[in-house]
Chains A and B, each alone.
Chain A
């Protein structure tokens, strides 16, 4: 088991490039994602979904994150397949719908989620976490809420690496998951979960010390990102397209 962490890091964390999207105000990008989400979840029409998908792909291309975003989807493919299966089964057995209806609904659900995941790098890969922090502060969200959110996000790859290290240490002592018995699998997850949780907790404690040593809680972060004409153009375009989609 090799955790394909690299595609997650590439797609969902800042990559320094010179593109239009990188120059935009983070709030604009956040707004775009929210608008796209709203559009996605308000339509059952496959043509509209296709148009939304095209918009997303165009934006990804403008931000030069198209390839890494697609790689992200490929990494998460097992999860989407699982979701699809669960949807089909629950619509068939819980809601008592015929198989064809269940499959159609499941396809829509999964496609929406895929398009939304595809769209995430538009914000996360083109914006620095500190800019996201500053934008959230602009929205009057208190620093004591913004900082933990940003830190939690930033430490996801670190925690994943810790989990991998714990797994390697235990497997090197003989732990194995090659069994068909589900009880055994759960039992074997314990020696991986406990150290992982403890290591994460110890990291949090160390992090609190480091933050204090680096002066956190004194003054607010100050700089404000600006709004450029690109922001206005993009927002207008997206709002216009989505409105059209919603009306028709």
Chain B
């Protein structure tokens, strides 16, 4: 029996239909996500990735209505039976646009906002603000107005408001769409660091796999509401899928089967270069 790994999220026979739609956005989803995984969910527009995220943080069914069949269990709670606010004790969501996430006028108050709502003590809140400000290097922003931040600063603050909760589950809904690649990589590395230290489960929904393959422990590919592939990223990208839009690196090596058979399946640029170097050394001998 797989006893040594806690299941933090479970989808049991989930079908979901949005209120004014005829077609199901999620079809027969059965998933078990374990504590500490870095899950990346990809798929074309309309495949159901964002719908999946909303099922986990409780917005479905409470805010979107529609028809939710089956069960979604998050940290032991059935999402149909508890409110979004109760789920927010364990699940933090970071959205695509940081401007949508900021609701107060001062950065310090912004960081304290969720914790105040959940009933944390003043000293605990102060301690956590100190911690997160140091981690994300935003100490100089604490007394600034949220209305006058630059885009990059807003992104950091929005991120901090999610991480400050030390959530069990961190949901990232296409948060890199508006970011430049450098910032995207920076946040991805911070998220991974936290995951390793605190055992946070990370679910990252995105279009651009490239930034996250370095940290990804599990890759889920969706299409038209179904899970089409699920597993270790190397296996999924090289063996499971046939018709998919791969990151350039993977596309290249999938067409160079002989290298892959000899030297392994690279998913990051560093791994790709190693494979290439070994191959070039070999043919020059």
Can you list 23 A-B contacts (CB < 8 A)?
A: A9-B145, A13-B145, A14-B105, A15-B145, A16-B106, A16-B144, A130-B106, A154-B103, A207-B100, A208-B63, A210-B101, A211-B103, A212-B85, A212-B88, A214-B114, A215-B85, A215-B89, A216-B85, A216-B117, A217-B85, A217-B117, A218-B117, A219-B118
Q: What chain A residues lie within 8 Å of B191 (beta carbons)?
A: none
Whether A213 and B147, one on each chain, are in contact in the complex, defined by CB atoms closer than 8 angstroms, is no
A154:B105 contact, CB within 8 angstroms: yes
Q: In the complex, which residues of chain A have a beta carbon less than 8 angstroms from the beta carbon of B95?
A: 210
Q: A60 vs B89: C-alpha distance in the bound complex, in angstroms?
A: 42
Cβ-defined contact, B122 with A130, below 8 A: no
Assess the A218–B122 pair: CB atoms within 8 A. no
Contacting pair B103 A207 (CB below 8 A): yes
Measured in the bound complex, the distance between the Cα atoms of B119 and A129 in whole Å is: 19
B59 within 8 A of A: yes
Extra inter-chain contacts (18) besides given A212-B62, A213-B57, A214-B161, CB under 8 Å: A13-B105, A14-B105, A16-B143, A128-B105, A128-B109, A129-B104, A129-B106, A129-B109, A130-B105, A158-B99, A207-B103, A209-B59, A212-B58, A212-B63, A212-B84, A213-B59, A215-B85, A221-B116
Bound state CA distance, A14 and B95, in angstroms? Answer: 26
Instruction: Check if A222 is an interface residue, CB within 8 A of chain B.
Output: yes
- Nearest-CB distance from A124 to chain B (Å)? 10
Contact A212 B147, beta carbon cutoff 8 Å: no
Tell me how far the C-beta of B253 lies from the nearest C-beta in chain A, rounded to whole angstroms. 39
* B148-A9 in contact (CB<8A): yes
Given known A-B contacts A14-B145, A16-B144, A129-B104, A214 and B122 have beta carbons under 8 A apart:
no
B211 within 8 A of A: no
Q: From B115, which residue of chain A is reached at the shortest CB distance?
A: A215
Once bound together, how far apart are the Cα atoms of A215 and B143, in whole Å? 23
In the complex, whether A195 has a CB less than 8 A from a CB of chain B is no
* Contact of B63 with A218 in the complex, beta carbons under 8 Å: no
Count of A-B contacts judged by CB separation below 8 Å: 90
**Interface size class, chain B:** 35 or more
A203 in contact (CB, < 8 A): yes
Q: Contact between B63 and A209 (Cβ–Cβ < 8 Å)? A: yes
* Contact indicator per residue, chain B 85-100, by CB within 8 Å of chain A (1) or not (0): 1101100110100011
A141 at interface (Cβ–Cβ under 8 A)?
A: no
For the complex, would chain B's binding face be called helix, strand, loop or mixed by DSSP majority? helix
User: Footprint of B on A, CB under 8 Å?
Assistant: 9, 13-16, 128-130, 151, 154, 157-158, 203, 206-219, 221-223
Instruction: Let me know if B113 is at the binding interface, CB within 8 A.
Output: yes
Q: Which 10 residue pairs are nearest across A and B when measured between Cβ atoms?
A: A215-B117, A16-B143, A219-B119, A212-B84, A214-B114, A129-B105, A130-B109, A215-B88, A215-B118, A215-B85
- Are A14's CB and B118's CB within 8 A? no
Tell me which residues across on chain B come within 8 A of A219, comparing CB atoms.
116-119
The residues of A that contact B86 with a CB separation of less than 8 Å are: 218
- Which of A13, A14, A213, A218 has the most B CB atoms < 10 Å from its CB? A213
Shortest beta-carbon distance from A9 to chain B in Å: 6
Partner of B118 from A15, A128, A218 at Cβ < 8 Å:
A218
- Whether A210 contacts B103 in the complex (CB less than 8 A), given A16-B144, A223-B122, comes out as yes
For window 39-87 of B, CB contacts with A under 8 Å fall at: 57-59, 62-63, 83-86
B88 touches A213 (CB 8 A): yes
By CB atoms of chain B within 10 A, which of A14, A15, A206, A223 has the most?
A14
Closest B residue to A151 using CB positions = B103
Contacts of A214 in B (CB 8 A): 88, 103, 113-114, 117, 161
Q: With A and B bound together, what is the CA distance between A218 and B86 in angstroms?
A: 8
Beta-carbon nearest neighbor of A131 in chain B: B109
Smallest CB-CB separation from B148: which chain A residue? A9
Output the least CB separation between B118 and chain A (Å).
Answer: 5
Contact (Cβ within 8 A) A212 B145: no
